[in-house]
Structure 1
Amino acid sequence: MLDRTTCYENLEEPQKRGHATEAIIQSAFVLRDVPVLVPTYGTDAYDLVVEVGGQFHRLECKTAYRSGAGTVAFETVSNHHRRDDYGGCGYNGRAAYFAVYDPVNDNRYLIPVSEGTGERMELRFRETAADGTPTIDRAEEYLLDDRLEDLRRS
């Protein structure tokens, strides 16, 4: 049987990996009893909307990929052309959170868009001998269940 990472790599088109990620993230929220709204068209600057604590939050779904020893990364900008011509720019003001699926570790993260730096964000899931890079965030700080609890309390 193939592992998750190989399954993702076998999806030759990036759009198929994106659709798989959206489905996994959507089911993660549904399993946690969080209502999920899906835009009718694929032309919005976000993929899903969730309702937590009576508030709606726009999510941009991203797939993480192995980027180094003990790290995964995801792109924080879009290269797709959509109706409002935001291709190649960030998501500030367009989405509130990146909902990230990491097929390497089978983790789901919820990261405020405002914390996404540059064109990609790197998350460390395992300590290495060469740790100390200040631009790499700790993955455990963004785990979906913890972030969801924070949203429910606010």
Structure 2
Amino acid sequence: MSERSERFASLEEPQKRGQAAEAIVKSECVSYGISVLVPAYDNESYDLVADIDDDFYRIQIKTAFEATTDGAVRFRTRSTRTKSSGYEREGYEGSIDLFAVYAPVCDETYLIPIEDASKTQMTVRYERSKNNNVKNINWHEDYLFDEVLPSLGSNPTT
């Protein structure tokens, strides 16, 4: 586990982990020269907007947790709000363009187009499964930040 992952894991409050994931994603954007716009209020469905080659992308930031199977991480693709009448769960279709996902278990950041994400949660595999299944797998290398970025029209410099 990387030093950053260990520090992330030591954060006890979910809000702090969320803030740390947002900072990690913003840092990735800035390191590629991408301008980041942050909503003035916390009631938008997206956490930031990235200006990539004069195109704007609404991004919802998520933290991936270790999946129930080894070698994979999972994140929720719905928003959950607490209301006096109970929980309200809502999808992001039509209100975001990308999920930016920080996976502390492998210290990776993914960019996932909303169209690639399932309705409730998504699993990303960073190691082969024990049964060697390769069908219908979301492989981490297909969603790594620096792999997806060029397809969005950016010309990042490393």
Q: What TM-score, normalized to structure 1? A: 0.88
CA-to-partner distance for each residue in 1:78-131, whole Å, 9 max, x for gaps? Answer: 11259xxxx411111111000011111111110011211131100010113313
SS of the counterpart of 1:88?
Answer: strand
SS of the counterpart of 2:148?
Answer: helix
CA distance in 1, matches of 2:136, 2:102: 20
Are positions 1:118 and 2:156 aligned together?
A: no
CA distance in 1, matches of 2:52, 2:26: 14
CA-to-partner distance for each residue in 1:7-29, whole Å, 9 max, x for gaps? Answer: 33332221111110000000100
The answer on whether the counterparts of 1:121 and 1:136 sit within 8 Å (CA) in structure 2 is no
Aligned CA-pair RMSD: 2.2
The corresponding residue for 1:66 is 66
* One-letter amino acid of the counterpart of residue 123, structure 2: E
CA distance in 2, matches of 1:46, 1:118: 16
The corresponding residue for 1:108 is 109
The alpha-carbon distance between structure 1 residues 112 and 81, as it changes in their structure 2 partners (threshold 3 A), is: farther
Q: How far off is 1:135 after superposition?
A: 4.6
* One-letter amino acid of the counterpart of residue 58, structure 2: R
The corresponding residue for 2:15 is 15
CA distance in 1, matches of 2:34, 2:22: 15
- Comparing 39-48 and 128-137, the one that deviates more: 128-137
SS of the counterpart of 1:17?
Answer: helix
The answer on whether the counterparts of 2:9 and 2:104 sit within 8 Å (CA) in structure 1 is no
CA distance in 2, matches of 1:95, 1:19: 19
Segments ≥4 residues shifted beyond 6 Å: none
Are positions 1:91 and 2:89 aligned together?
A: no
**Structure with higher strand content:** 2
CA distance in 2, matches of 1:30, 1:110: 15
CA distance in 1, matches of 2:95, 2:117: 13
The corresponding residue for 2:142 is 141
Q: How many percent of aligned residue pairs carry the same amino acid?
A: 39
CA distance in 2, matches of 1:77, 1:131: 29
CA distance in 1, matches of 2:110, 2:136: 18
CA distance in 2, matches of 1:100, 1:125: 14
SS of the counterpart of 2:43?
Answer: coil
SS of the counterpart of 2:129?
Answer: coil
The corresponding residue for 1:28 is 28
CA distance in 1, matches of 2:132, 2:58: 33
